[in-house]
Amino acid sequence: MSEITFKDRVAIVTGAGTGLGRSHALGLAARGAKVVVNDLGVGRDGVGASSEAADAVVAEIKAAGGEAMSHGCDVSDEAGVKDMVAQAMDAWGRVDIAVNNAGILRDKTFAKMEMSDFRKVVDVHLIGSANVAHACWPIMREQKYGRIVFTSSASGIYGNFGQANYGAAKAAMLGLMNVLHIEGARDNIRVNTLAPTAATRMTEELLPPEAAELLAPELITPGLLYLVSEDAPSKVILGAGAGSFAQTRVYETEGITLLDSDNTPEAVAAQFADVSDNQTQEELADAFSQTKKYALNAAKARGLKLGW
């Protein structure tokens, strides 16, 4: 297979000052992309602001001989996102890749959660991702080329205690991807979703040190680079962590058909085993099951033992 390169491509990476976003930005730049490093510089709860992290990543890219600029907009601010995209166009004349990585956490059980915290998390993850995609969309359509990645999570796909806001926002990435995949197909715009699990400031309190070492963000970026490459697939949910990569698919069982007077709630109840018959399908219990799976896979491959 030919080497994946991003020479003459322009990429926007949100939340790129630290963790996964930083790794993605550096990975794209190392293979030739000009990169907009977006980061508002907030804490993981979305509070505060600083350009320091984004500027540091830009400096790192430039020191390695690449091209990059920083932009500190809040992705949930439509005007700020439009300005970011406009600056990329002014500098480089195109936008080929949009990596939606920016995110915050405001974890609490649903019973204790303030709706303002629910809205803020949805605004950053969902509305922010839509803002970036929407601002890039006419450019990508005009140039007949675009690669967009949304970042989901096992918390949205499988569920995780205390993350109703985050899980809802991350599950929404799948729906957004599905529609944009269809709408972008004729213009060679390919849209995918990355579902990563990594040792970052978002997960630092959940992982034992020995697992954190196996879940470095840099081990996920190769999957991201494939999803935004010229020969990328589209409408793929790629799970990634600890060097493990897996595709998540949404299945539907064969089910049953109830006609006329047989179509009753009692009949559905009586035949629910047939409705739910999935035979070889596997369901993960929760988000941490995915994290544990990837970490254990990596540990086994390395002859290591984790304390789980």
Q: Which of 112, 47, 40 is nearest to 70 (CA)?
A: 40
C-alpha distances in Å from residue 291, one per residue of 37, 99, 113, 160: 27, 22, 25, 12
Note whether 49 and 70 are within 8 A (CB): no
Note whether 58 and 68 are within 8 A (CB): yes
Q: Which of 145, 166, 251, 294 is catalytic?
A: 166
The span from the CA of 202 to the CA of 269, in Å, is 41
Instruction: Please indicate whether residue 166 is annotated as part of the active site.
Output: yes
Query: Known catalytic residues?
Result: 166
